[in-house]
């Protein structure tokens, strides 16, 4: 069974931090960008968040940003996610190799369409 990515990587985190509220992130990436630290530890003062800490989103936080969209795995083992399109009667949907990438791609798409 393949390991499922559970939080945004450094590149995704940097992109999302440009247009999502930082408060929607539930973790921060440490200075080296590889160790996720839960934000509650930063809030409690157990870990210092400085200008090098990068907001990071878990899958749960991404789903919350998207207001809990449909997320399914298809027969090709790709993850599909979609949200209703308020501009039409259809859906805006994307697919990717894992659920985090699918959610990030959908968030980016909604941002480009000014729907987020």
Closest CA to 96 of 108, 79, 81, 82: 79
Position 77 in a domain: yes
Q: What is the pLDDT of residues 52-106, one digit of tens each?
A: 677 889 999 999 998 877 888 888 888 888 887 766 667 788 888 899 999 999 9
Position 3 in a domain: no
In a shared domain, residues 62 and 98: yes
User: What total of structural domains would you count in the chain?
Assistant: 2
In a shared domain, residues 64 and 109: yes
In a shared domain, residues 48 and 62: no
Position 51 in a domain: yes
Cα–Cα distance for residue pair 75/31, rounded to 1 Å? 38
Residue 44 vs residues 2, 6, 39, 103: alpha-carbon distances, Å: 34, 23, 9, 29
Which residue range is the domain that position 79 belongs to? 58-116
Cα–Cα distance for residue pair 56/14, rounded to 1 Å? 8
Q: What is the pLDDT of residues 4-63, one digit of tens each?
A: 788 898 899 989 999 998 888 888 776 554 555 555 545 555 445 455 677 889 999 999
């Amino acid at each position: 069974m393949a390991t499922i990515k559970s939080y945004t990587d450094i590149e995704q985190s940097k992109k999302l931090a440009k247009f999502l509220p930082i408060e929607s992130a539930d973790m921060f990436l440490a200075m080296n960008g590889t160790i996720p630290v839960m934000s509650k530890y930063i809030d409690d003062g157990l870990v210092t968040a400085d200008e090098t800490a990068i907001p990071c989103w878990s899958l749960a936080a991404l789903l919350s940003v998207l207001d809990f969209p449909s997320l399914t795995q298809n027969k090709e083992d790709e993850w599909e996610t979609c949200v209703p399109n308020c501009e039409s009667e259809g859906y805006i949907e994307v697919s990717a190799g894992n659920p985090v990438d699918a959610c990030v791609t959908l968030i980016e798409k909604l941002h480009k369409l000014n729907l987020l």
